[in-house]
Structure 1
């Protein structure tokens, strides 16, 4: 999809000051250390600060960075991965309440680790189709510090998860980066990777069962290998990763050589290298070094990375940047932006 005259007007983040290391000093269980080969894994930990409260801070910072007022916001979309608060309650309405956005449409987006991409796609359509709508606010936030998840190792390739929030304000009137294109595709046969042998009812969390993506993926792999479909599935997965990048580049009317940096989900170094190599880039060309000390922040990785790289001077006006990733389902997303301002504040 080509994006016409839609900009990222401002970014804001909330990152906890605390950084913890998984090592044999008691900060991580022995089972985790065994699975992570005793490597020192750093993550951001928010303690008892809720995800919606981190989101509120990030949103206010994004509005301030864009010199925008809540009255300007026509749409609020909130992306999350983990539990947000009381069951049956909407964190997007909490943000709407405390930001003063009762005049805006507010919705929660459950798109996994690419939830912000889906929210931005929806925002582009909303802004283009409504003559009076000038800005949309997209927020992602998660706090994984609960009993039913091992933040230090979500799965064999996933690495550790961290806490934090990112917000980005989209505008029709200019900003720090122009969206050139957005692309997406899916491979729904692979939803079984994240379901494994778990029953659909009752939901595991209602019975106090642990979230273990590693066990689910292992169960899926055993079944696929028995059926003789494993190699095809892995090959098709890699093809989808490449396809979505190719589509985003084609719609932006640029090639790989025009890309200055690639922003990806935070993951272990070896996994990141293999992933980037699959569509023609290196670790050094990516955002990995700017976010590896934070852990995987759910749907917030890419826009935390963008904010941090702009603040560090790693991106300059004229740079074309590729953002890409995938999430359980599997949904594959990619976006190309062009930096127009160097300072996110």
Structure 2
């Protein structure tokens, strides 16, 4: 149970430049079948800014929306999945310094594409345990740039977009009100299956340095070897079961369902049309009849950022998915390892 009235004010920052699917098709970077399975129009691409630089932009936007002074932030939690621009440093400290949260304790969060959920869970623990009620800043950022990563062809069934997300997380206490436009967090549930970590690991050997096995990250090779031993049907079935169970747990925690509140929508990880059809759609249907949506048509998969980007869509004034007062929505998240999370939010 989420204690007290925990609120979050999310934001995102995406590059203005993008690579179009029609151009990727013309260049032979994807096939017609892959484009149809994905169903996405474009991927945002950062031509010059690193992931942490984009995170600073998103953080400043979230702080402004929440009306929260940067110097009041108690902790900065930064999550990512891929290279942050330097080989040996702390991007979380860079984000804290760049966003003005100079009194915060920066921490890096590594849970692959479920990193935003892990950071959000840590933020909830912090704001509910800290008697001062000081807010926490959560950020994510990824840039899937060549030559180290092929955003179109480096993975099966996933296209990767560049961008950053952020959220200020706080707790309304006493006379403190929830900031205008923020969402209240009603549930956050997480499940994990560590035995599936080999889906993203070269099982032949551990390497002494990055890109030892090749000049670019090759997610396909590890997945192909994993599915050869596990079986694709069995693996997809496991993904559906875990998703259903974590969503059901979150809805119970939030009091959603028979005899409880109605659920406006369920937003999915941005993994494309085929994955929504084969995994997430059936998994959600086992638990609720609420409509589902994949909002990745113009963003692709944002690495650790899908969750907060979806929460931004639920809170942003111009978004067609914006919650009206009194409405509830759920957002699903998943990451290699594997880990699954489900968040339920409410517009007060």
How many pairs are equivalent? 332
Instruction: State the secondary structure of the residue aligned to 1:32.
Output: coil
What is the CA-CA distance between 1:81 and the residue it aligns to?
Answer: 0.8
Counterpart residue number, 1:42? 42
What is the CA-CA distance between 1:231 and the residue it aligns to?
Answer: 5.3
The superposition leaves residues 294-325 of structure 1 with CA deviations (integer Å, 9 ceiling, x where unpaired) of 11111111222232343325321111110112
Instruction: State the secondary structure of the residue aligned to 2:95.
Output: helix
Counterpart residue number, 2:307? 302
When normalised by structure 1's length, the TM-score is 0.88
What is the CA-CA distance between 1:62 and the residue it aligns to?
Answer: 0.5
- Looking at structure 1, the residues matched to 18 and 215 of structure 2 have their Cα atoms a distance apart, in angstroms, of 27
- Contact 2:117–2:307 at 8 Å: present in 1 too? no
Counterpart residue number, 2:221? 215
- Looking at structure 1, the residues matched to 209 and 263 of structure 2 have their Cα atoms a distance apart, in angstroms, of 43
Out of 333, 336, 348, the residue aligned to residue 328 of structure 1 is 336
Question: What are the ranges of 5 or more consecutive residues in structure 1 without an aligned counterpart?
Answer: 341-345
After superposition, residues 1-345 of structure 1 pair within 5 angstroms as 1-8=1-8, 10-23=9-22, 25=23, 30=28, 32-33=30-31, 36=34, 41-158=41-158, 160-173=159-172, 174-175=178-179, 176-197=182-203, 199-206=205-212, 208-225=214-231, 232-255=234-257, 258-274=262-278, 275-280=280-285, 285-288=291-294, 290-309=295-314, 310-311=316-317, 312-314=319-321, 315-340=323-348
Moved more, 315-324 or 36-45: 36-45
- Looking at structure 1, the residues matched to 266 and 31 of structure 2 have their Cα atoms a distance apart, in angstroms, of 30
What is the CA-CA distance between 1:198 and the residue it aligns to?
Answer: 5.0
Instruction: State the secondary structure of the residue aligned to 1:205.
Output: coil
Instruction: State the secondary structure of the residue aligned to 1:59.
Output: helix
What is the CA-CA distance between 1:35 and the residue it aligns to?
Answer: 6.5
- Contact 1:36–1:153 at 8 Å: present in 2 too? no
- Looking at structure 1, the residues matched to 270 and 289 of structure 2 have their Cα atoms a distance apart, in angstroms, of 12
Q: Residues 233 and 273 from structure 1, CA distance in 2 versus in 1: closer, same or farther, beyond 3 angstroms?
A: closer
What is the CA-CA distance between 1:104 and the residue it aligns to?
Answer: 1.1
When normalised by structure 2's length, the TM-score is 0.87
Q: Residues 81 and 35 from structure 1, CA distance in 2 versus in 1: closer, same or farther, beyond 3 angstroms?
A: farther
- Looking at structure 2, the residues matched to 153 and 170 of structure 1 have their Cα atoms a distance apart, in angstroms, of 36
- Looking at structure 2, the residues matched to 283 and 216 of structure 1 have their Cα atoms a distance apart, in angstroms, of 35
Instruction: State the secondary structure of the residue aligned to 1:279.
Output: helix
Q: Residues 127 and 90 from structure 1, CA distance in 2 versus in 1: closer, same or farther, beyond 3 angstroms?
A: same
The superposition leaves residues 109-134 of structure 1 with CA deviations (integer Å, 9 ceiling, x where unpaired) of 01111111111111111111111242
Moved more, 131-140 or 11-20: 11-20
What is the CA-CA distance between 1:283 and the residue it aligns to?
Answer: 11
- Looking at structure 2, the residues matched to 308 and 111 of structure 1 have their Cα atoms a distance apart, in angstroms, of 23
- Contact 2:2–2:188 at 8 Å: present in 1 too? yes
- Looking at structure 2, the residues matched to 224 and 64 of structure 1 have their Cα atoms a distance apart, in angstroms, of 47
Counterpart residue number, 2:175? none
The superposition leaves residues 270-309 of structure 1 with CA deviations (integer Å, 9 ceiling, x where unpaired) of 2112212222189992342x43111111111122223234
- Looking at structure 1, the residues matched to 257 and 290 of structure 2 have their Cα atoms a distance apart, in angstroms, of 18
Q: Residues 28 and 106 from structure 1, CA distance in 2 versus in 1: closer, same or farther, beyond 3 angstroms?
A: farther
Question: What are the ranges of 5 or more consecutive residues in structure 2 without an aligned counterpart?
Answer: 173-177
**Alpha carbon RMSD of aligned pairs, Å?**
2.5
What is the CA-CA distance between 1:246 and the residue it aligns to?
Answer: 0.9
